[in-house]
Chain A
Protein backbone atom coordinates (compact mmCIF):
# COMPACT_ATOMS: atom_id res chain seq x y z
CA UNK A 1 0.00 0.00 0.00
CA UNK A 2 0.99 3.63 -0.35
CA UNK A 3 3.12 5.08 2.37
CA UNK A 4 3.42 8.63 3.60
CA UNK A 5 4.22 11.00 0.79
CA UNK A 6 5.63 14.51 0.98
CA UNK A 7 5.88 17.22 -1.62
CA UNK A 8 8.01 18.81 -2.79
CA UNK A 9 11.03 16.61 -2.16
CA UNK A 10 13.27 19.67 -2.36
CA UNK A 11 12.49 23.32 -1.90
CA UNK A 12 14.91 26.18 -2.33
CA UNK A 13 13.74 29.63 -1.33
CA UNK A 14 15.13 33.01 -0.45
CA UNK A 15 15.26 34.49 3.00
CA UNK A 16 12.02 36.21 3.86
CA UNK A 17 9.82 34.18 1.54
CA UNK A 18 6.81 32.05 2.46
CA UNK A 19 6.80 28.29 1.89
CA UNK A 20 4.29 25.47 2.16
CA UNK A 21 5.21 21.84 2.63
CA UNK A 22 2.64 19.13 2.03
CA UNK A 23 2.14 15.75 3.65
CA UNK A 24 -0.18 12.93 2.54
CA UNK A 25 -0.47 10.39 5.35
CA UNK A 26 -1.30 6.74 5.02
CA UNK A 27 -5.00 6.35 4.32
CA UNK A 28 -6.99 5.88 7.48
CA UNK A 29 -4.29 7.12 9.85
CA UNK A 30 -5.82 9.61 12.23
CA UNK A 31 -2.60 10.82 13.82
CA UNK A 32 -0.15 12.99 11.91
CA UNK A 33 3.17 14.41 13.06
CA UNK A 34 5.67 16.92 11.74
CA UNK A 35 9.34 16.77 12.65
CA UNK A 36 12.37 18.81 11.64
CA UNK A 37 15.73 17.18 11.12
CA UNK A 38 18.78 19.40 10.98
CA UNK A 39 22.08 18.16 9.59
CA UNK A 40 23.68 15.63 11.90
CA UNK A 41 20.75 15.58 14.28
CA UNK A 42 17.81 13.36 15.01
CA UNK A 43 14.30 14.48 14.12
CA UNK A 44 12.78 17.05 16.46
CA UNK A 45 9.07 17.19 17.08
CA UNK A 46 7.11 20.15 15.77
CA UNK A 47 3.39 19.40 15.92
CA UNK A 48 0.89 16.57 16.27
CA UNK A 49 -2.60 16.32 14.81
CA UNK A 50 -5.32 13.98 15.93
CA UNK A 51 -7.90 14.24 13.18
CA UNK A 52 -8.32 17.85 12.12
CA UNK A 53 -7.11 19.50 15.28
CA UNK A 54 -3.61 20.25 16.44
CA UNK A 55 -3.45 18.28 19.67
CA UNK A 56 0.08 19.36 20.51
CA UNK A 57 1.98 22.20 18.87
CA UNK A 58 4.56 22.61 21.60
CA UNK A 59 7.45 21.93 19.22
CA UNK A 60 6.80 24.80 16.84
CA UNK A 61 9.81 27.10 17.29
CA UNK A 62 7.96 30.39 16.87
CA UNK A 63 4.88 31.99 15.35
CA UNK A 64 6.36 31.92 11.84
CA UNK A 65 5.52 28.23 11.76
CA UNK A 66 1.97 27.03 11.33
CA UNK A 67 0.33 23.79 10.22
CA UNK A 68 -3.15 22.79 9.18
CA UNK A 69 -5.05 19.61 8.48
CA UNK A 70 -8.49 20.85 7.48
CA UNK A 71 -10.09 17.55 6.48
CA UNK A 72 -8.21 15.21 8.75
CA UNK A 73 -6.03 13.80 6.01
CA UNK A 74 -3.54 15.97 4.09
CA UNK A 75 -1.53 18.41 6.16
CA UNK A 76 0.38 21.52 5.17
CA UNK A 77 3.23 23.02 7.14
CA UNK A 78 3.54 26.73 6.51
CA UNK A 79 6.59 28.84 7.23
CA UNK A 80 6.44 32.61 6.95
CA UNK A 81 9.38 34.99 6.54
CA UNK A 82 11.83 32.11 6.18
CA UNK A 83 15.26 32.41 7.74
CA UNK A 84 18.48 30.61 6.89
CA UNK A 85 18.19 28.73 10.15
CA UNK A 86 14.99 27.12 8.89
CA UNK A 87 17.02 25.06 6.43
CA UNK A 88 16.48 21.41 7.32
CA UNK A 89 14.65 18.28 6.27
CA UNK A 90 11.02 18.40 7.33
CA UNK A 91 9.60 14.98 8.03
CA UNK A 92 5.99 13.95 8.24
CA UNK A 93 4.79 10.81 9.97
CA UNK A 94 1.42 9.19 10.51
CA UNK A 95 0.07 6.61 12.88
CA UNK A 96 -3.17 4.63 13.06
CA UNK A 97 -4.07 6.09 16.42
CA UNK A 98 -2.31 8.77 18.35
CA UNK A 99 -3.21 7.56 21.77
CA UNK A 100 -1.53 4.16 21.86
CA UNK A 101 2.01 4.71 23.06
CA UNK A 102 3.37 1.58 21.43
CA UNK A 103 2.16 2.52 17.97
CA UNK A 104 5.00 3.17 15.63
CA UNK A 105 5.05 6.20 13.41
CA UNK A 106 5.37 5.74 9.65
CA UNK A 107 7.62 8.36 8.12
CA UNK A 108 7.62 10.00 4.74
CA UNK A 109 10.82 10.71 2.76
CA UNK A 110 10.90 14.32 3.88
CA UNK A 111 11.15 17.71 2.22
CA UNK A 112 14.60 19.26 2.14
CA UNK A 113 14.20 23.00 2.62
CA UNK A 114 17.08 25.29 1.78
CA UNK A 115 16.81 28.97 2.59
CA UNK A 116 19.37 31.08 0.77
Chain B
Protein backbone atom coordinates (compact mmCIF):
# COMPACT_ATOMS: atom_id res chain seq x y z
CA UNK B 1 0.00 0.00 0.00
CA UNK B 2 1.11 3.53 -0.69
CA UNK B 3 0.87 6.52 1.60
CA UNK B 4 2.54 9.83 2.35
CA UNK B 5 3.07 11.70 5.58
CA UNK B 6 3.55 15.44 5.70
CA UNK B 7 5.30 16.65 8.82
CA UNK B 8 4.05 20.01 9.99
CA UNK B 9 0.54 21.12 9.18
CA UNK B 10 1.61 24.77 9.37
CA UNK B 11 4.91 26.33 8.36
CA UNK B 12 5.79 30.02 8.61
CA UNK B 13 8.79 31.61 6.95
CA UNK B 14 9.94 35.15 6.39
CA UNK B 15 9.92 36.56 2.90
CA UNK B 16 13.25 35.69 1.29
CA UNK B 17 13.94 32.78 3.62
CA UNK B 18 14.31 29.13 2.68
CA UNK B 19 11.13 27.12 2.34
CA UNK B 20 11.27 23.46 3.40
CA UNK B 21 8.12 21.33 3.39
CA UNK B 22 8.55 17.72 4.44
CA UNK B 23 7.07 14.62 2.89
CA UNK B 24 7.85 10.99 3.65
CA UNK B 25 6.37 8.18 1.64
CA UNK B 26 5.60 4.54 2.10
CA UNK B 27 5.45 2.39 -0.97
CA UNK B 28 5.93 -1.27 -1.76
CA UNK B 29 7.01 -0.45 -5.30
CA UNK B 30 9.15 2.33 -6.80
CA UNK B 31 7.00 5.37 -6.16
CA UNK B 32 5.72 8.08 -8.42
CA UNK B 33 5.60 11.19 -6.24
CA UNK B 34 3.97 14.55 -6.76
CA UNK B 35 3.72 17.93 -5.09
CA UNK B 36 0.60 20.00 -5.63
CA UNK B 37 -0.21 23.53 -4.48
CA UNK B 38 -3.69 24.77 -3.66
CA UNK B 39 -4.52 28.44 -3.48
CA UNK B 40 -7.69 29.53 -1.68
CA UNK B 41 -10.84 28.54 -3.56
CA UNK B 42 -8.85 27.02 -6.39
CA UNK B 43 -8.09 23.52 -7.55
CA UNK B 44 -4.80 21.74 -7.05
CA UNK B 45 -1.98 22.75 -9.36
CA UNK B 46 0.99 20.51 -10.05
CA UNK B 47 4.32 21.87 -8.82
CA UNK B 48 6.51 18.95 -9.78
CA UNK B 49 6.66 15.18 -10.05
CA UNK B 50 9.21 12.42 -9.57
CA UNK B 51 9.16 9.70 -12.19
CA UNK B 52 12.56 8.05 -11.49
CA UNK B 53 14.37 9.90 -14.30
CA UNK B 54 16.31 12.11 -11.86
CA UNK B 55 16.40 12.34 -8.09
CA UNK B 56 16.42 16.15 -8.06
CA UNK B 57 13.27 17.45 -9.65
CA UNK B 58 12.72 21.07 -10.58
CA UNK B 59 9.24 22.45 -10.75
CA UNK B 60 7.41 25.67 -11.36
CA UNK B 61 7.79 28.89 -9.40
CA UNK B 62 11.33 28.04 -8.28
CA UNK B 63 10.40 24.95 -6.29
CA UNK B 64 12.35 21.74 -6.35
CA UNK B 65 12.29 18.43 -4.53
CA UNK B 66 14.83 15.69 -3.97
CA UNK B 67 13.93 12.02 -3.92
CA UNK B 68 15.91 10.18 -1.25
CA UNK B 69 15.21 6.48 -1.25
CA UNK B 70 17.31 5.80 1.85
CA UNK B 71 15.19 8.27 3.82
CA UNK B 72 11.92 7.56 1.96
CA UNK B 73 11.59 11.30 1.59
CA UNK B 74 10.57 13.78 -1.07
CA UNK B 75 10.89 17.16 0.61
CA UNK B 76 9.93 20.34 -1.21
CA UNK B 77 12.24 23.35 -1.11
CA UNK B 78 12.55 26.85 -2.44
CA UNK B 79 15.61 29.00 -1.75
CA UNK B 80 13.76 32.28 -1.25
CA UNK B 81 10.12 32.57 -0.22
CA UNK B 82 7.80 34.98 -1.96
CA UNK B 83 4.58 36.38 -0.57
CA UNK B 84 2.77 34.70 -3.46
CA UNK B 85 3.94 31.28 -2.19
CA UNK B 86 1.44 31.40 0.67
CA UNK B 87 -0.86 28.45 0.02
CA UNK B 88 -1.61 24.84 0.98
CA UNK B 89 0.85 22.25 -0.28
CA UNK B 90 0.07 18.58 -0.76
CA UNK B 91 2.41 15.69 -1.32
CA UNK B 92 0.96 12.69 -3.14
CA UNK B 93 2.02 9.22 -4.23
CA UNK B 94 0.51 7.31 -7.10
CA UNK B 95 -0.91 3.96 -6.13
CA UNK B 96 -2.75 1.98 -8.76
CA UNK B 97 -5.52 4.09 -10.18
CA UNK B 98 -5.47 6.80 -7.58
CA UNK B 99 -3.33 9.36 -5.84
CA UNK B 100 -2.84 9.13 -2.10
CA UNK B 101 -2.51 12.62 -0.65
CA UNK B 102 -0.99 13.82 2.56
CA UNK B 103 -2.94 16.01 4.93
CA UNK B 104 -1.29 19.14 3.58
CA UNK B 105 1.00 21.87 4.88
CA UNK B 106 -0.19 25.43 5.06
CA UNK B 107 2.62 27.84 4.23
CA UNK B 108 2.53 31.37 5.61
CA UNK B 109 5.02 33.94 4.35
CA UNK B 110 5.75 36.80 6.72
CA UNK B 111 6.72 40.11 5.15
Tally of contact residues, B, Cβ under 8 A? 24
Assuming the A-B contacts A41-B103, A42-B90, A42-B102, are A101 and B42 also in contact, with contact meaning beta carbons closer than 8 angstroms in the complex? no
CB 8 Å contact bits of A13-53 with B (1 = contact, 0 = none): 00000000000000000000101000011111100100000
Determine the residue in chain A with the shortest Cβ distance to B52. A102
| A64→B51 CA distance, assembly (Å) | 37
Contact A48 B103 (CB under 8 A): no
User: Which B residues have a C-beta under 8 Å from some C-beta of A?
Assistant: 9, 32, 34, 36, 41-46, 49, 51, 90, 92, 94, 96-104
A interface secondary structure, majority: loop
Residues of A within 8 A of B90 (CB): 42-43
Provide the residues of chain A in CB contact with B32, threshold 8 Å. 101-102
Q: A104 touching B49 by the CB < 8 A rule?
A: yes
Per-residue interface assignment for chain A, residues 93 to 116, with 1 indicating a CB less than 8 Å from any chain B CB and 0 otherwise: 100001001101111111000000
- For A, the interface residue count at a CB cutoff of 8 angstroms equals 26
Q: Are A4 and B101 in contact (CB under 8 A)?
A: no
Contact surface of A with B, Cβ cutoff 8 Å: 3-4, 33, 35, 40-45, 48, 55-56, 59, 91, 93, 98, 101-102, 104-110
A104 adjacent to B34 (CB under 8 Å): yes
Query: Smallest CB-CB separation from B43: which chain A residue?
Result: A107
List, in ascending order, chain B residues with CB within 8 A of A44's CB: 101
Candidates A56, A104, A110; contact of B96 at CB < 8 Å: A56
Residue of B nearest to A110 (CB): B43
Q: Which of B42, B97, B99, B102 contacts A55 (CB 8 A)?
A: B97
